[in-house]
Amino acid sequence: MNFFRGVMGGQAAGPQPSGAETIQKLCDRVASSTLLEDRRDAVRALKSLSKKYRMEVGTQAMDHLINILQTDRSDSEILGYALDTLYNIICNDEEEEQDENAQKQADDMGAHFTDKFIQDPEHMSVLLNLLQQLPIFMCPQVQGIILVSPMGVSRLMDLLADSREVIRNDGLLLLQQLTKGNAAIQKIVAFENAFERLLDIITEEGSSDGGIVVEDCLLLLLNLLKNNSSNQNFFKEGSYIQRMKPWFEVGDDNSGWSAQKVTNLHLMLQLVRVMVSPVNSPGATASCQKSMYLCGLLQQLCTILMATGVPADILTETINTVSEVIRGSQVNQDYFASVNAPSNPPRPAIVVLLMSMVNERQPFVLRCAVLYCFQCFLYKNQKGQGEIVATLLPSTIDANSISAGQLLCGGLFSADSLSNWCAAVALAHALQDNLTQKEQLLRVQLATSMGNPPVSLLQQCTNILSQGDKIVRRGSKVQTRVGLLMLLCTWISNCPIAVTHFLHNQENVPFLTAQISENLGEDERLVQGLCALLLGICIYYNDNSLENYTKEKLKQLIEKRIGKENFVEKLVFVAKHELYSRAAQKPQPVFPSPEQMLFDHEFTKLVKELEGVITKAVHKSSEEEKKEEEVKKTLEQHDNIVTQYKELIREQDAQIQELKEKVSSMSSQNEQLQTTVTQQLSQIQQHKDQYNILKLKLGKDNQSQSNSQGDGSQVNGLQTEELTQLREEVDQLRKQHTLLQTQLGDKDALINTLTAEGSAGASDNTELLKELEALRSQVQSQSAEINQLKTERQELLRRSSDTVPSSDSSLDAAKMAELESRLAAQTAETEKLKEETKRLSESRAGLEQQLASATSTVAILQTEKAKLQTEVQESKKEQDDLLMLLADQDQKIHSLKQRLKNLGETVEDEDDLDAKDQTDDDEEEEEEEEDED
């Protein structure tokens, strides 16, 4: 019955167990149950009771829960229940609202259980070990939980700053697991100041001489930086590269390197390589290479490179690191070329390294590292390529020293096939993408034996492949033959002169066709494919300079001896080879064994580039080639035309830029002229005001004179005052003409500027010239009026002098002379004005030509012309006013004559004077006739 009540949910009879008793029974089940399911159910029940019976669970179950963490690590579910239960009894529930006493009691309880938990150091180790292993087995899930947890990574980073080394070291291990393959966590850790903390720990622990903690820090740094461009940039921008330099400051005594130091330094070198890896973006790599040179890190690495007593694996990794630090960086490559080994006499580091590469007693990995270093030194370094090739030329060979070229030639023809391959690849890199050095290397001559003439390096390489003596038996090794074929393909590709030199040897083409047409094993098929590639290069880059080996004849030879399909099949076999695919992945030559060292990374690029074009070239007929040549010539002509147009456009751009500068200069000059014109207008207005004042004053004087009565002396005084006034007016007129002359000079300068720059179209030009002609007519008219005015004034003055009393005649004559001199000056100025106007007319022809190209300046010229016309009109108006004044003066003189007549004085009229003059002239003529008789 009790059973059915329990199943149906009924209340069992009898007293119920207390909470402490229930917890005791659950603890017994955890401790004694052999089945994992029973223990899991018991721990789940403890979790459900841990909040309500916090004291009882903490007192009775803590040891059992810790034991679960140690024994049941394989079950994540029971681990989760145990950790949740421990959290409930140690930590307070922040969500519940409690009074002050209850809160204090809960805090005391939490502190009590926390103290009990950490009394045994093993408890903390259990938790940290669990944290380390959890990411190992469930890394993606744990990483996802940490990413969504607020401040999750920040709290883990706090472990690195913990003063307890155990906590800090276990925190390093935990972060190592969490940062593997998760770029998001890597970025968060990096921006939580991880680089600063880790570098500080490495320094505190003794850098490369430190222990396992330094290794853990370096492994974490590798996780953060490898394949993470964002963190790499942050590391560089934070100037952390400079802090890596002290890691490589090894002492003079390099004996007795500990295993831990070797491991640490190996990881440090890997960190440097991560920052300058060829797989990084070129810009980021170049920036890091520059920083490593400026801070002295490259110099420090080269010191290790040339030091003695350095372990072989460290030396090998240092060579690889230096290789990538200098790869593609001209500054770093130049520095590396200047490094010398501490020997007597000093030898360049390049020579010392090449000696190791061609020495068959050196370790294989070390020789591969030296080859990679040499390749990186020559990568995009035409200067270095020229220096290496120059050591082979006859004019630069030094018999007293060993050069890089001599070492390469020695390795190329040595008995060691690996040395043959390495030397051939190294020499091919000295020719990579450098047509000049390919042609220079054709000059290299080699002495073969006593009594025989020297042969070229190209000839010797082909002899090794084709001749049937002892050299062939050495060259028959696949590795040697592949190396030589790669060198020859690199050498003659894109170099028609080298192709001609190669074809000039009558034995080369028959040897290649014989090799390709045979049916051999897989290794020999690789050699056949490379021979097909070499023959295809001879076709594609053939300039048809040799009659027996033109493109068409070589293709006919392939069709007859080999067959086009068979040729193409052998050619494409190269790219299908397994070792070809492995070499194409990355620049560094990494091979598990010397026998698998067949292909070079740069050579795989050449094969990929030439395979398609050679296949097309072999299948093309002569007619198609002719068409292609015609198309090529057409394209070249088109390119030449395009180039000419580009040059024309550049010239026009330069002219436009020059014109823009001139327009800017003219605009500035125009502004200055506008300012000058404004000032002149202001001055003209001032002169007009003065003229009006004088005119009003003269009118008042005339009125007073008409009402006055006096004798001859008063008449003389009045005439003197009038002459003074007239002199002032003439002086004013002179100033006006001077101003007009200045303005015309300014306009002439402006017209000269416009002559240099150009102006408007033909129709506007004609109209403008008409206006200029009208302006000249106006100026001429003005000059005529001035001349007429001068004549009348002289006549008036002459008559006036005849009518004044004799006592004042001398004074009046002086005044009249002064007035005449001023009028003469005015006349001279008017003549200058005429000359300026004439010069303006003469420049009309030049103006007509220039005005056709600068329409924008017509408006300026028209404006200036209008202003000039206005000024001429104003000057004409002033002259009219002056004529009116002269008419008034004539009236006054007539009035004075009348008064003189009234006073009894004899006054001759103009007609009488003219008759008298005529009579005098007649009398003089009669006297002259009488004298002649």
Domain count, the chain: 2
Same domain, 474 and 610: yes
Residue 458: per-residue pLDDT: 93
* Residue at a domain's end among 556, 585, 619: 619
Please write the tens of the pLDDT for every residue from 184-201: 889 989 998 999 999 999
Closest CA to 493 of 592, 384, 603: 603
Same domain, 607 and 735: no
Q: How confident is the model at residue 13 (pLDDT cuts 50, 70, 90)?
A: very low
- Alpha carbon distances (Å) from 285 to 291, 337, 534: 10, 20, 35
923 vs 637, which has greater pLDDT? 637
Contact 224, 212 (CB under 8 A): no
Residue 439: per-residue pLDDT: 94
Contact 514, 492 (CB under 8 A): no
Same domain, 426 and 572: yes
Contact 260, 207 (CB under 8 A): no
Contact 349, 302 (CB under 8 A): yes
* Residue at a domain's end among 619, 642, 666: 619
Interval 693-701 mean pLDDT: 72
Closest CA to 523 of 564, 581, 477, 568: 477
221 vs 832, which has greater pLDDT? 221
Contact 90, 53 (CB under 8 A): no
Residue 454: per-residue pLDDT: 85
Cα-atom radius of gyration of the chain, to the nearest Å?
A: 55
For 258, the enclosing helix (H) or strand (E) is none
164 vs 384, which has greater pLDDT? 384
In a domain, 374, yes or no: no
Interval 249-256 mean pLDDT: 69
Q: Does 587 sit behind a cis peptide bond, omega within 30 degrees of 0 on the bond before it?
A: no
The CB-side HSE value for 17 (13 A sphere, CA atoms) comes to: 8
Q: How confident is the model at residue 69 (pLDDT cuts 50, 70, 90)?
A: confident
Instruction: Look up residue 733 and give its amino acid.
Output: L
Poorest-pLDDT segment among 352-361, 423-432, 675-684, 910-919:
910-919
In a domain, 259, yes or no: no
The CA distance from 779 to 836, in Å, is 10
What percent of the chain stands above pLDDT 70? 69
Contacts of 1 (CB under 8 A, 6+ apart): none
* Residue at a domain's end among 619, 635, 666: 619
921 vs 665, which has greater pLDDT? 665
Interval 253-278 mean pLDDT: 89
Please write the tens of the pLDDT for every residue from 372-394: 999 999 999 999 999 999 999 87
Q: How confident is the model at residue 488 (pLDDT cuts 50, 70, 90)?
A: very high
Residue 330: per-residue pLDDT: 95
| pLDDT higher than 80, residue 641 | yes
Please write the tens of the pLDDT for every residue from 860-914: 666 666 777 677 777 777 777 777 777 777 787 878 878 777 877 666 655 554 5
Q: How confident is the model at residue 474 (pLDDT cuts 50, 70, 90)?
A: very low
In a domain, 489, yes or no: yes
In a domain, 633, yes or no: no
| pLDDT higher than 80, residue 757 | no
Q: Which residues pair with 340 in a beta bridge?
A: 348
Residue 878: per-residue pLDDT: 73
Q: How confident is the model at residue 701 (pLDDT cuts 50, 70, 90)?
A: low
Please write the tens of the pLDDT for every residue from 412-457: 988 899 999 999 999 999 999 999 999 999 999 887 766 678 889 9
CATH number of the domain that residue 749 is part of: 1.10.287.1490
113 vs 128, which has greater pLDDT? 113
| pLDDT higher than 70, residue 28 | yes
Residues in the chain: 933
704 vs 525, which has greater pLDDT? 525
Please write the tens of the pLDDT for every residue from 810-854: 445 565 566 566 666 666 666 666 666 666 656 655 555 555 555
Instruction: Look up residue 551 and give its amino acid.
Output: K
In a domain, 237, yes or no: no
The CA distance from 407 to 358, in Å, is 7
In a domain, 569, yes or no: yes
| pLDDT higher than 80, residue 783 | no
Please write the tens of the pLDDT for every residue from 409-423: 999 988 899 999 999
Residue 709: per-residue pLDDT: 43
Closest CA to 481 of 523, 449, 516: 523
Helix, strand, coil percentages (3-state) for the chain, rounded to 5, are 80, 0, 20
Structural domain harbouring 788: 731-798+814-891
Interval 341-367 mean pLDDT: 91
Poorest-pLDDT segment among 214-218, 558-562, 645-649, 884-888:
884-888
In a domain, 135, yes or no: no
- Three-state secondary-structure class, residue 681: helix
Sign of CA dihedral 114, 120, 124, 129: negative
The CB-side HSE value for 256 (13 A sphere, CA atoms) comes to: 4
CATH number of the domain that residue 533 is part of: 1.25.10.10
Residue 932: per-residue pLDDT: 54
11 vs 581, which has greater pLDDT? 581
The CA distance from 145 to 182, in Å, is 13
Q: How confident is the model at residue 82 (pLDDT cuts 50, 70, 90)?
A: confident
The CA distance from 202 to 645, in Å, is 63
Q: How confident is the model at residue 599 (pLDDT cuts 50, 70, 90)?
A: very high
Residue 883: per-residue pLDDT: 72
Kind of pairing, strands 445-446 and 347-348?
A: unpaired
Residue 236: per-residue pLDDT: 93
| pLDDT higher than 70, residue 704 | no
What percent of the chain stands above pLDDT 90? 33
Angle at 489 between CA 487 and CA 490, to 5 degrees: 65
Within 10 angstroms of residue 92's Cβ, the number of other Cβ atoms is: 15
Could you tell me how many helices (H) and strands (E) the chain has, helices first? 42, 4
Residue 871: per-residue pLDDT: 73
* HEC secondary structure over 687-745: HHHHHHHHHHHHHHHHHHHHHCCCCHHHHHHHHHHHHHHHHHHHHHHHHHHHHHHHHHH
Same domain, 613 and 735: no
Same domain, 743 and 602: no
In a domain, 906, yes or no: no
The CA distance from 494 to 610, in Å, is 10
